[in-house]
Amino acid sequence: MALNLPQIVQILEGDESILEYVTKRQKSKLQRTYSEELFDADEYNSTKYLSDRDKQLEFVLSPSNEF
């Protein structure tokens, strides 16, 4: 959330209530919602990704017998 000029002025003048309000708004926007996709993403971790990538790279770089 971008601050507008009046909010910036309030913060610079020492109004902590506007700063607390902005902080709470930012935190609420950053909260994650968990879904099946996130749990599935955990199963496909970096080690599995690297393994799959290595297999694909090996396939692409292997000499082909067919022309």
pLDDT digits (tens, 9 = 90+) for 3-37: 788 888 888 888 888 878 878 877 766 665 555 55
Q: Is residue 58 part of a domain?
A: yes
Q: What is the CA radius of gyration of the chain?
A: 25
Q: Is residue 19 part of a domain?
A: no
Q: Is residue 26 part of a domain?
A: no
- How many structural domains compose the chain? 1
Q: Is residue 53 part of a domain?
A: yes
pTM tops 0.85, yes or no: no
Please say whether the beta carbons of 11 and 19 come within 8 A: yes
Q: Is residue 3 part of a domain?
A: no
Segments forming the whole domain that contains residue 47 = 32-62
Q: Which tokens sit at 62?
A: 């292997």
d(CA 40, CA 48): 13
d(CA 58, CA 34): 35
Please say whether the beta carbons of 18 and 7 come within 8 A: yes
